[in-house]
Structure 1
Amino acid sequence: MALTDLQIQDLQAVIKSWNSYTIGAKDSVGNQEYEIVNTQDGTTEAIAVAPVVDGTTDYSQTAIVVAGTQPGFTESTKNAIEARSGMTPQVDDISDFYDSTAAKLEKDHGGGTISNMSGFSQSGPAVAKVAAEHQVPKITNFMDWAASSALYSKANPKGITAEEKAWLDQHATIYMDSTRDVTYLDGKNHGDIPYGKKYIVEGTGDPISDHDTAFPRIKGNGLDIDWYVKHGQFASGMTKEQVIKVARKKAKEAAKNWDIKDPSTWFNSTDYRLYLLRYVMTYGDFAVEPTKAELLTSYKKTVKDLRSQLKTATGSKRISLREELLRAVAEKARLQAELKVQEIKDEIAQAKEALQADITATRQAMYQIAEELTDSEVAELLSPYTMENLWDSQAEAQNLAEADAYQNRMMAFADKLEAAADNLIATDQEGAALFSTNKK
């Protein structure tokens, strides 16, 4: 097992506060408690943590998480500049930190596994290099700086080798902004990342907000596609239907916001088809639409995970999880109903088709063996062998009606769950407003 990308994102946000903790200290982020296994606070800022599960620290899921360039820190900035033409000197610090963490696991805890590594910006390629060297199973990076310059060459002997790149292509996920507001200046290929699986999210053009580990909206081990569709933003991994939905929103907004006095609106297309072309060029091919069975499996897992998180959640986080759980159960109910009804309809259709085939075969056989009979006599013998006589149309209609009624009941149940989720959020907002008023 390994920590999820979302858990790693949470840990990236606390590096600069947790790296001053004593070894063995415990703290929580994102509803998960962790134990500090190792820390480093210098030119390279890093933590190594292991999750606490049911009161026991699981050292088999130890994660090393490294911060990016420290603005204003002379040595760190110098390393970032040098990285534009080769592997960042930070790679030595990260390699040493890996070794010291592995040694601590062995000495203090009788062993363990470094299951995750994560880097951001300048530390990204260095983390990728060290993780691939040690074949760490899960690497989660954010906006890697000078990734193309980090590949091995004679002039860059510490770079990522072809073998290491092959490992990264299978085990690394890199989250990046589409506008590459900072990495565009990394000296080579304008922020391109030549290893791992890339998840690209729509950038805003703001180098401060976009070049941040918190910028991508993550769910589990990938992007929260539903969030991006809802907010009219593009992201990798959308189906064609989802891209069209976002493209239409963008075209509509372009028409509404066009202003001759504002040059930034002049080139925003009102034709949604242009956005489809831009999507493929920037974010890659459309994702394959999952089957309803695959979606149902996914929602079952989501419901299980949310119920697990609710056991320890408190306050507004608990309310948010309850809302998410209600909506997930609603979708699960809809999908179960659709699949069950389709299964019934398929079984009826198959039985009907099989009976029709039997009738056809019987009639053909009868004509072949009844050589002494006239066609009219054969037809009279076969007259009972018809779909009208052998197929119970009333039973078919009743079964289909019952299936439709079941689906309608499940859909109504799902609608009630959605309404309950809406009421839950409305009540929470009313409570927050009341609390704010009482404080004044």
Structure 2
Amino acid sequence: MNAMAFAPIKGDGTPDYSNVAVVFAGTNNVNLMGDTGKTGTGGAIRSMGGYLSPEYKPASAFLEKTLMSVESKPGGRVTDVGGFSQSGAYLMKMTAVYAPVHGFRSVSFDDFGGMQQRTLTTDELAWLKENPQAFLRYRNARSFAAYSLRDHMYGTIVSVSLKEHDTLARYFDGDALNLDRLAKDGHFVSGMSAEQVALAARTFLKDNPSWMSGSSEKERIAARIKE
């Protein structure tokens, strides 16, 4: 488990503890020459079955320690918690347990883990259903993580038609996705305008001229949008 907490630096050079973020990394690759990554890979596999990753316990301990430290300072507050891949999956549990008390927002990126709602208590699940805005989930719809049996019901889900398993960092301007940039690269994302969807389809066809090559451009665009 790898994690980091950080705060912006104010003009006078001191940390702004009123806006602290905590982020958890994804799964380490298996290293056959040592122990690094072995537990992480096993945890990712386990999380596909609707179980909590073993990383959740140390991750929660890190979050609790950070919350205690930050909130002991005047005006101190953790405002955002983020996770990618395996940590993005157990972020559902973490959000339902800690966000009602501490008021932070969680953001997951291409979560890898199935049926994580099974890890929640009845009260935690009810809270998550009532507060979908507290758990923002960015998903790469065509990546291998899409096959990890993850749910499509809880939180606020933003689906992007990428096949890479990554955090979409290159498409963010500040804390918002740049939909124009995604469209220009031929990718679809929920929330696009009709013009952006059409641009994404045309870009895809330009980059993939052999795709449905026997059909008209209008038919190809319509088929790509439907796909």
Q: One fold, TM greater than 0.5?
A: yes
1:103-159: per-residue Cα shift (whole Å, max 9, x none)? 22255x35611111001111112223223322233211101111x42113xxx4679
Q: 1:60 to 1:250 in 2, by over 3 A?
A: same
TM-superposed deviation, 1:239: 0.8
Q: Is the 8 A contact 1:94 1:126 kept in 2?
A: no
Q: Is the 8 A contact 1:60 1:114 kept in 2?
A: yes
Matched, 1:229 2:183: yes
Higher helix share: 1
Q: Secondary structure at the match of 2:65?
A: helix
Matched, 1:69 2:27: yes
Aligned residues: 213
Q: Is the 8 A contact 2:116 2:151 kept in 1?
A: no
Q: Is the 8 A contact 1:132 1:168 kept in 2?
A: no
Q: TM-score, normalised by structure 2?
A: 0.81
Q: Secondary structure at the match of 2:8?
A: strand
Equivalent pairs: percent with the same residue? 28
- Give the root-mean-square deviation of aligned CA atoms: 2.6
Q: Which has the higher contact order (CA 8 A, sep 6+)?
A: 2
Q: Is the 8 A contact 1:133 1:164 kept in 2?
A: no
Of residues 221, 224, 227, the one that matches 1:275 is 224
AA of the residue aligned to 1:98: L
Q: Is the 8 A contact 2:2 2:25 kept in 1?
A: yes
Q: Which residue of 2 aligns with 1:101?
A: 66
Of the two, which has the highest radius of gyration? Answer: 1
Q: Which residue of 2 aligns with 1:200?
A: 159
Q: Is the 8 A contact 1:87 1:159 kept in 2?
A: no
Of residues 69, 75, 81, the one that matches 1:117 is 81
Write out aligned runs for 1:7-26 (5 A).
none
Q: TM-score, normalised by structure 1?
A: 0.44
AA of the residue aligned to 1:132: A
AA of the residue aligned to 1:275: R
Q: Is the 8 A contact 2:89 2:112 kept in 1?
A: yes
Q: Which residue of 1 aligns with 2:108?
A: 141
TM-superposed deviation, 1:235: 2.0
Q: Is the 8 A contact 1:120 1:213 kept in 2?
A: yes
Name the CA distance, whole Å, in 1 between partners of 2:77 and 2:88: 21
AA of the residue aligned to 2:47: A
Gaps of 5+ in 2: 31-36
Q: Which runs of 4+ in 1 moved over 3 A?
A: 156-161, 248-254, 265-270
Gaps of 5+ in 1: 1-43, 205-209, 259-264, 279-440
